[in-house]
C-alpha cells in the first residue's frame, strides 16, 4: 500500500471499500467483512486503515497462570503492536464473546496505543472512558461497559476472529462505524482504480437523483445507465 492509496482509503468509508473489492474482482460474493453491529468511540472520525497487529484477550474470570507470566505477556503484546511497518491497527479478539464483561480499551490503553503509532482498534470486546479517549484513535468495539474485570492477554500475533471476520497478522484492514473488511492482497494494486470506478458508477444515479425535477422517468433512465455500468 503506497501513500496515494492510503490517502484514498482514509477518505472513503468501509462500505465503499467492500463494494470496490467486488468491482476489482468483477463479481459479487466477497465475504471478508464483519457481521453484526459495532459501536464506535468516534463515529464521525476518518476510518481506521492499517496492517493488523493481533491478539486474544479474556476478562470474565481471573487467569489461571501466574502474575509474572501475565505481566510478561502484556509487555510482549505491546512489543508486538509497536513492531512492523506502519500504518498499523490493533485487532483484538475477546474470547468471552458474546458475553464480554471487561474493557481492555479505555483512556490509558487507547492513549498508549496511539503513542506507539497505531491508528485505532477493531475488537469484539468492551470499551470504556468515552469522552476521555483520544478522538483521533477510533475504537470500534462490540460493546461499552464500566469495568476492566479480569482482563488479560491470552495470545499474541495469531489469527483472530472478530464479528465473523478472520484477521491474520499483517492483513490490511479498513474499519469504521459500519464494521471492518480485510482487503485481499491481490486486490491492493488495483483497489484505487476500483474505488474511482465505483464512484463514477454511483454518480450515474446519485447526480440525477439530487437534481430538481427528478421523477420516475428520469430515474428509469439513470438506473439503466447505472445497471449497465456496475458490477
| Segment 143-190, tens digit of pLDDT | 999 999 999 999 999 999 999 999 999 999 999 999 999 999 999 999
User: How far is it, in rounded angstroms, from Cα 58 to Cα 82?
Assistant: 21
Q: Where are the domains of the chain?
A: 31-183, 191-229
* Per-residue pLDDT at 231 exceeds 60: no
Neighbouring C-beta atoms of residue 210, cutoff 10 Å: 9
Cis peptide before 87 (omega within 30 of 0): yes
Looking at the predicted structure, is the pLDDT value of residue 70 above 90? yes
What does CATH list as the number for 31-183? 3.50.30.40
Q: Is the pLDDT of residue 230 over 80?
A: no
Rg (CA), the chain: 20
Annotated binding residues for Mg(2+), written as ranges, equal 129
Q: Which residues are annotated as a binding site for substrate?
A: 128
Enclosing H/E stretch for 1 = none
Residue with cell 488495483: 190
Binding site, residues? Answer: 128-129
pLDDT per residue as tens digits for the range 71-94 = 999 999 999 999 988 999 999 999
pTM for this prediction: 0.94
Do the Cβ atoms of 130 and 82 come closer than 8 Å? Answer: no
What integer is the mean pLDDT of 184-206? 95
Shortest CA distance to 97 belongs to which of 36, 158, 180?
36
Amino acid at each position: 500500500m503506497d501513500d496515494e492509496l492510503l490517502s484514498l482509503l482514509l477518505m472513503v468509508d468501509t462500505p465503499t471499500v467492500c463494494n470496490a473489492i467486488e468491482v476489482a474482482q468483477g463479481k459479487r460474493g466477497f465475504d471478508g467483512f464483519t457481521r453484526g453491529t459495532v459501536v464506535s468511540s468516534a463515529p464521525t472520525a476518518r476510518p481506521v486503515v492499517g496492517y493488523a497487529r493481533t491478539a486474544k484477550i479474556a476478562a470474565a474470570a481471573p487467569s489461571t497462570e501466574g502474575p509474572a507470566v501475565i505481566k510478561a505477556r502484556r509487555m510482549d503484546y505491546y512489543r508486538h503492536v509497536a513492531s512492523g511497518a506502519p500504518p498499523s491497527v490493533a485487532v483484538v479478539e475477546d474470547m468471552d464473546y458474546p458475553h464480554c464483561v471487561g474493557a481492555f480499551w479505555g483512556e490509558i490503553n487507547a492513549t498508549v496505543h496511539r503513542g506507539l503509532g497505531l491508528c485505532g482498534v477493531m475488537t469484539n470486546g468492551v470499551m470504556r472512558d468515552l469522552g476521555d479517549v483520544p478522538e483521533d484513535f477510533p475504537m470500534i468495539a462490540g460493546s461499552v461497559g464500566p469495568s476492566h474485570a479480569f482482563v488479560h492477554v491470552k495470545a499474541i500475533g495469531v489469527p483472530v476472529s472478530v464479528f465473523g471476520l478472520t484477521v491474520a497478522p499483517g492483513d490490511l484492514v479498513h474499519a469504521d462505524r459500519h464494521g471492518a473488511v480485510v482487503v485481499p492482497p491481490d486486490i491492493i494494486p488495483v483497489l484505487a482504480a476500483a474505488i474511482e470506478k465505483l464512484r463514477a458508477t454511483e454518480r450515474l444515479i446519485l447526480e440525477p437523483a439530487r437534481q430538481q425535477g427528478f421523477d420516475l422517468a428520469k430515474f428509469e433512465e439513470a438506473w439503466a445507465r447505472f445497471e449497465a455500468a456496475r458490477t
